Each structure stands twice: as structure tokens, then as C-alpha cells.
Amino acid sequence: MRVDLVSEHASPLAAIRGADSGGQNVHVAALAQALARQGVEVTVHTRRDDPDLPRHVAIGHGVTVHHVDAGPARAIPKDALLPHMGTFARRLLEDWGTTPPDLVHAHFWMSGIAAMAAGREAGIPVVQTFHALGVVKRRHQGAADTSPDARVAHEALLMRRADRVIATCSDEVFELLRQGADRRRVSVVPCGVDTDRFTPPGPVDPRGDRPRVLVVGRLVPRKGVDDAIRAMALVPGAELVVAGGPEAACMRTDPEVRRLRRIARGAGVADRVELRGAVGRDEMPALLRSADVVVCAPWYEPFGIVPLEAMACGVPVVAARVGGLVDTVVHEVTGLHVPPRDPRAIGAAVRALLEDPRRRIMMGSAGVHRARTRFDWSRVAAGTLEAYARTMAPAGAGRRVGVAP
């Protein structure tokens, strides 16, 4: 079987080389390699953002990355890529003229635009994963949402026209149905975690004697880092390490870093908050192992890979009760759920866990078991292949919601 993945702005090479730990980069890279281990020939099409990149790059047995010439060969913010999707679609058609895949799987809505245009022309079934929905982003960010105005309309059209939509959590299914998706053509397959890399034993990031609370993620307001910082006022004696954001050289001038530092000073916890900046993928397991508690407190979250990585390392998670975090973190089993945008609830949950080492150990053990049995990439690949099989089944066959094992 040959499957082509389309990921217009999130190259799997960035995740593999440690240059970008964004969720979609990690997801596409890991899914491609997991599918290849199950015998699938995979090509990932991503936009060329550097003129020196070769046309094709092999990343392990059975996976090739194809750099597509669509727009200038330089980094462009993803929200500015929409005008180049027509060219991207034409390049896909050219590539498929000689060796068409059995199925194309688009990741993100702009990838879906290109994949749908080319797939319809070539007669290739198209599967769509959104990773995030514009209607949800707009609901939570309002005027701060920088997405193109046409995003919501494009997504609504894609979810109706795609041969199958793969949602990453149950909350996303409800959002899709509200926008008119056909339930019979929606499958649920979660994101995964590398349980060989993220393990309880292994190197540990150096730390002092203070309890350590860890937040990992991009430094954007919706990730709720400011709420985690304010929560530290209720957790005396503990340190908060925030991993994510710009490289060290840019930390002093970054607007969000400066805002977070002001919040830490205002909350009286600046001496216990470390904004570490960008952390490479290779460093992440050791950093997670060093934490007593990991906090994931976004306003909304389509899925969230960090909680899985923390659980796989045996660390309990305090998670906002939103989106995919409701599916991954089991309240009172692998961590604690708190309302979003509630520093007092975060602080109370963190303090409760720090004061009960036995409870942390039990939750850490349960998290490892859940990560390995439900979210290992081999299981995610199997669930994805099941969705592919339903997509290519004869009309009317297998048209029901599928949940990954």
C-alpha cells in the first residue's frame, strides 16, 4: 500500500532534527514512520522553505519527504500560506501523474485544500486530519486569531467533501458534527507517544532540592503559561520551569517572555520561575523526568502531546479540562483535571500532588501503563490503517465511526 501524507507547513524533518517540537511536526513524522514499520510506503509532501533543501529526503526505511515548490523558498508564517495552495495542488498532481498513491492523508486545513483539489482531479481518496479547527480557535481567541478569514468556510467544505475525517479526540467529533460532518465518515484516532524514548528510567535534567513543576509548550497566551505562573503563589517552596519559546539569544526581547516575567514579578514568584526558552526534542525526556508534576493548562487544546510524553515518563499531569486532554489524562488516575483559566485551581491541584508522594507515584505508574497500552505509535498506526481501509471500502461498507484500539 502506498499512502501520501500532505503537511504543507509542518515538515517531519524539523521534528526529527530537533529544530521544531510543534505537535504537527512530531505527529506527521512519527505517524509516517509507524505506518512504514507496518509495511506502508509513505511519502510526505511539505512546502520547500529553503532553496538548499533536496527535492527528496529519505527518513528511514519506507518514508520519503518531498519538498514541494509552492511560493518562495523561505520561511513564511503558516497563516500567510493560503495563496500558495493552488500551486501546491498542481505540484501534487504532477507528482501523482506517474506514481499515484492509493490514498492521500492531509494534515491541517490548508493541506486539505491542496490535497482535495489534486485528489479529486486524480481520482484518489482523501482523508483529512485538521489538528485544530478554526471555529474553536476563533471562539477562544477572538480578535487575536490570525487565521485567514476564509478558514472556517474552507474547513466546513473539507469535512463534507473528504472521503474520511480522522479526529484526534471525542471533543473534536462533536465540533465536526456541529459543522455538518457525516458521522459515518468520521473516525477517532488519537495522537501517539514514542514509548521507547519517553520512559521513566533514563537521564534526568539537573535540579536542586525544591519540588519542580514543569510547563512545556509554545509561548502563546492560549497555552495558559501565565495561569501556571500565577498558580505558583499557592505552591510555596516549589520551582516552575517553563520550556518553550525562542532561543536563548532572543529571550530578553521576546514580547511574550517579557509579559510572563512581568506576571511572575507581580505574583511574587519571579525567584521561583525559570523561563528556559527553546528545548530540543532530544532534551525533552530528561527534562520531563526531572519534574514532580507537569502542568498543561491551555484555554483549548485539539489534542496535546506533552501530557502523553509526561505520562510515558511516569510523571502525573495537572491538565485543563479541555479538548483532547479530557481523553488522555484520566482524572484521579493519571493526574488531575482543573477548569481552564483558573490559577487557583491549578495551584490547589499541584500543591495536593506535591504534598502526597505516594499518590504521585501511583499516578505516574498508571500514566506509564496508559501511554504504553493506548497511545504507543504502533497502536495509533493500526487505528489509522483501519480508517484507511474503511475509506477505500466499497461505497456503503464500513461507514461507521471507528475508534483506535
Mean pLDDT score, 317-339: 96
This prediction's pTM = 0.89
Q: Is 329 helix (H, G, I), strand (E, B) or coil?
A: coil
Domain range spanning residue 234? 212-374
Would you place residue 130 in the very low, low, confident or very high pLDDT band (cuts 50, 70, 90)? very high
Both 6 and 88 in one domain: the answer is yes
Domain membership of residue 203 (yes or no) is: no
Among candidate residues 282, 331, 279, the one with its CA nearest the CA of residue 307: 331
Residue 46 in domain: yes
> Strand pairing of 63-68 and 56-58?
antiparallel
Does a structural domain hold residue 293?
yes
Q: Are residues 111 and 171 in the same domain?
A: yes
Counted domains in the chain = 2
CATH number at residue 265: 3.40.50.2000
Residues 271 and 68: their CA atoms lie apart, in Å, by 47
164 and 240 share one domain: no
Query: Using CA atoms, how far apart are residues 2 and 36, in angstroms rounded to an integer?
Result: 10
Q: Give mean pLDDT, residues 24-42.
A: 95
Q: What percent of the chain clears pLDDT 70, i.e. is strictly above it?
A: 95
Write down the pLDDT at residue 89: 98
Tell me the mean pLDDT in the region 285-307.
94
Write the pLDDT tens digit of every residue in 188-224: 999 999 999 999 999 999 999 999 999 999 899 999 9
For residue 207, being part of any structural domain is answered with: no
User: Of all residues in the chain, what percent carry a pLDDT higher than 90?
Assistant: 84
Residue at 27 is within a domain: yes
Do 162 and 221 lie in one domain? The reply is no
pLDDT at 405 over 60: no
Domain annotation covers residue 383: yes
Residues 397, 322 share a domain: no
Residue 206 lies in a domain: no
Question: Is the same domain home to 83 and 146?
Answer: yes
Give the lowest-confidence range in 230-234, 358-362, 398-402: 398-402
pLDDT at 207: 95
| pLDDT tens readout for residues 59-87 | 989 999 999 999 999 999 999 999 999 99
Do residues 159 and 226 share a domain? no
**Is the pLDDT confidence value at 395 over 90?**
no
Examine the domain organization and report whether 247 and 283 are in the same domain.
yes
Q: 339-365 burial, b for 16+ CB within 10 Å, e for fewer?
A: ebbbbebbbbbbbebbeeeeebeebbe
Both 143 and 231 in one domain: the answer is no
Is 225 found in the same domain as 154?
no
Q: Are residues 237 and 133 in the same domain?
A: no
- What are 57's three cell numbers? 529526503
pLDDT at residue 142 in the model: 86
CA 286 – CA 345 distance, rounded (Å): 27
369: pLDDT strictly greater than 90: yes
Indicate left, alpha or beta for 20 from its phi (over 0: left) and psi (-120 to 50: alpha): beta
Same structural domain for residues 139 and 188? Answer: yes
Domain-embedded: residue 205: no
Q: Give 402's pLDDT tier (boundaries 50, 70, 90).
A: very low
Q: How confident is the model at residue 383 (pLDDT cuts 50, 70, 90)?
A: very high
Average pLDDT of the chain, as a whole number: 93
